[in-house]
Amino acid sequence: MSTVLVIGSGLGGLFAAVRAADAGHRVTLVTKGALDESNTGHAQGGIAASLFPDDSPNAHLLDTLRAGAGLSDAAAARVLCDEGPARVRDLIRFGAHFDRDESGLARGLEAAHVRPRVVHAGGDATGAEIARAMLDALSRRPIVVREQTMLVELLTEPTPNAADRVVGAELQAADGRREKLYADAVVLATGGAGQLFRHTTNPAIATGDGVAAAWRAGARLRDLEFVQFHPTALAVPGTPLVSEAVRGEGAVLRNRAGERFMLGRHPLAELAPRDIVAREIAVEMAAQGGQPVLLDATALAPTAAENAALLAGRFPTITAACTDNGLDWATLPVPVTPAAHYWMGGIATDLWGRTSLPGLFAVGEAACTGAHGANRLASNSLLEAAVFADRAVRALTADVAASADLPVSGYERRHATTDTRSDGVSPGASAERLRPDENREHTALRATVQTLLWDTAGLERDGDMLAAAADALAALPRPYTGPGASRRAIEDANLLDLARLLVAAASARTASVGAHFRRDAPLSAPSETPASREEALAC
């Protein structure tokens, strides 16, 4: 029986673990926090798929490619849209209860979709419901679960004619104990890195651990410059997300003078692609001294009472966030601001979740399939996690079967769990690092990185800003991540690695496209070459 190690407990990780167990693999799922702690649980809007008679995979594909600003991998986008309906039906079979109306499944319209196709659950609690269903499915299978266990580094072995093979991972438990866990295949589903930025809708766990570890192990990364900033996060502490679906229901954006500023800025107004709406909000905020703009959802129903009932029923999570912050969004517009939301870039994979390292697969936001191009279409993220997790398990099953008769070094060692005193940093990682007793003096490192990236590599960038950011990041010492290092120190080291890579990628792409907007070349044609971009990502 082959062994599969899944790292991460969002939809990608849960779907992969369940599928792998059903395929007969011996599965261990590792997650940094609690099992139910992931970005998936925060997803509000829904999951997009062509499930309805007036829709088709081709229509969904065209919307996906249009949002991707010409840089989507068309084959990956085709897989996403073609296989999406079947994966949503799988979620229903796993027990996810999507909202219904008199016609069957209820559906909503979101930005850049030409027709309503986004199914949701609990109004705006889609991710939480999907996670509940998948956790229930997980509990009914013989899967070993390790909570509060963090990825430190991937374990590799050299191969004769190819890149190093990934054979497991070095992990750290909550008590600081480290161990090496070996497996025939490793699936990274560790999510994105929203914590790179000062304002983000992502939870605190989103520190890019899997992407950073994969890079240090030698995996190829892709499209790191493409970070999607959600246009509307509530401008209160914690910046809770205000779903695109609110604008899909008819809410509009106004500046402090009460003007609906998106009219005339784009034919789709508030339902333009996210990067456009986010930048236009930033323009309005700059014109009004940095003050947030206003999201006006006060006229979605004929009367105030009906409006309050509609918002509470359709968007209970957002309603609660407003109430907790003393806001009554049924009767008054609420302040919103853009915030880092989703990373289109990540670990480069093929159409089956394979990375450039044998034995290593990546799914969900940690992966870059290319389907999203330069800008992800709303509600395609949960869909991508399910579609490519399913494909990754099919691929790893075939790969393991094909290699079963080959001689493998260290077989017994691979299938044992052992303590390690290694510092967990591969030879390719940065050499400068802080000793444990120095970590206390650098508690501001994360805030420094977040502010720097928000100011220089956020909604707008230019060459001078990025060059200054690269110099500033190079001067920051990398936290010590060896034995005795805290989870915070390991996370901060990952964030620093990724910040340097993101700035390098943004510098290499000298033209504006999609979510990557350069003030110094907003309309120019791309000038970088594949070689220069690979060189930047290898820095």
Q: Does pTM surpass 0.75?
A: yes
Question: Of residues 222, 247, 274, 279, which has the active-site annotation?
Answer: 274
Q: From CA 457, how far away is CA 469, in angstroms rounded?
A: 8
Q: What is the CATH classification number for the domain harbouring 88?
A: 3.50.50.60
State the average pLDDT over residues 89-102.
Answer: 97
Structural domains counted in the chain: 3
**Based on the domain organization, do 332 and 363 belong to the same domain?**
no
pLDDT tens sequence across 193-211? 999 999 999 999 999 999 9
As a whole number of angstroms, the distance between CA 48 and CA 50 comes to 7
* CB-based burial, 174-196: b 16+ in 10 Å, e otherwise: eeeebbbbbbbbbbbbbbbbbbb
Domain end among 338, 369, 394: 338
Residues 178 and 300 in one domain: no
Last residue of a domain, one of 338, 361, 395: 338
pLDDT, position 148: 97
CB 395 within 8 A of CB 354: yes
Q: For the residues 265-275, what does the mean pLDDT come to?
A: 89
CA distance 457 to 168: 34
**Residue 185 sits in the same domain as residue 55:** yes
Q: Is 235 a domain residue?
A: no
The end-to-end CA distance of the chain, in Å, is 39
Sorted by sequence, the CB contacts under 8 Å of residue 220 that are 6+ apart come out as 347, 348, 355, 356, 534, 537
Q: Are residues 439 and 408 in the same domain?
A: no
User: Do 166 and 357 contact (CB within 8 A), yes or no?
Assistant: yes
Q: What are phi and psi of 392, to 5 degrees?
A: -60, -40
What range does the domain containing 500 cover?
430-537
Instruction: Identify whether residues 144 and 258 lie together within a single domain.
Output: no
- Strand pairing of 252-254 and 293-296? antiparallel
Tokens 């605190």 identify what position? 204
Q: Same domain, yes or no, for 55 and 164?
A: yes
| Same-domain check for residues 142 and 33 | yes
pLDDT confidence of 186, banded at 50, 70, 90? very high
Say whether pLDDT at 438 is over 50.
Answer: no
For the packed helices 445-456 and 487-508, what is the interaxial angle rounded to 10 degrees? 20
| CA 31 distance to own-chain centroid | 16
CATH number of the domain bearing residue 311: 3.90.700.10
pLDDT at 275: 83
Active site annotation includes 274: yes
- Torsion angle, CA of 469/470/472/478, rounded to 10 degrees? 130
Helix, strand and coil content of the chain, in percent to the nearest 5, comes to 40, 15, 45
Q: Are residues 122 and 104 in the same domain?
A: yes
**How far, in Å, CA of 168 to CA of 153, rounded?**
9
Pick the residue with more confidence: 243 or 333?
333
Share of the chain above pLDDT 70, in %: 89
